[in-house]
């Protein structure tokens, strides 16, 4: 009964307030990211580092440090990604944070620059 009620509530919630059970949980805004979040920088058409490994439950924060807008896009069909998660385009110094709740490998790209490829491995 409790489970049914929870899912009914979730339907009404906006996308970014995903269930903690989701493998990839997009945090609503930068202030929601804990201080100990793992950092990934975006600059010169690259994610840096391109390959990080974190523990389940860790928040990863991406920061675009250049004028050219970039985003973080987990494409449906990739390993462990059943539903497309397309982050907003980040302007200079804007951030985007995700909590990874389940172990696995998560590939992502930048939507307008699909050659920008990287991944997060969750243990």
List residues near Cu ion by CB under 5 A: 70, 110, 113, 116
Nearer to other proteins, 32 or 78 (CB): 78
Nearer to Cu ion, 98 or 110 (CB): 110
- Residue 44 binds other proteins (CB under 8 A): no
45 token code pair? 């058409």
123 token code pair? 């243990």
Residues in the interface with other proteins (CB under 8 A) total 7
Nearer to other proteins, 57 or 88 (CB): 88
Residue 1 marked ligand-binding? no
Residues 64-123 that bind other proteins (CB under 8 A): 73, 75, 109, 111, 114-115, 117
Which DSSP string do the residues of the chain spell out, in sequence order?
-HHHHHHHHHHHS-TTS--TTSSEEE-SSGGGS-TT-EEEEEETTEEESSEEEE-TT-EEEEEE-SSS-B--EE-TTSTT--S-EEPPPB-TT-EEEEEE-S-EEEEEEETTEEEEEEEEEE-
Binding site for other proteins (CB under 8 A): 73, 75, 109, 111, 114-115, 117
Please report, in range form, the residues annotated as the binding site.
Answer: 70, 110, 113, 116
């Amino acid at each position: 009964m409790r489970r049914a009620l929870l899912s009914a509530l979730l339907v009404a919630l906006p996308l970014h307030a995903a269930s903690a059970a989701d493998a990839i949980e997009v945090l609503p805004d930068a202030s929601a990211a804990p201080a100990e979040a793992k950092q990934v920088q975006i600059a010169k058409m690259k994610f840096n580092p391109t390959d990080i490994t974190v523990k389940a439950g860790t928040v990863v924060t991406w920061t675009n440090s250049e004028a050219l807008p970039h985003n973080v896009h987990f494409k449906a069909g990739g390993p462990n990604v059943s539903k497309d998660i397309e982050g907003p385009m980040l302007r200079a110094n804007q951030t985007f944070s995700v909590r990874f709740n389940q172990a696995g490998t998560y590939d992502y790209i930048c939507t307008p620059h699909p050659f920008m490829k990287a991944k997060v491995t969750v243990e």
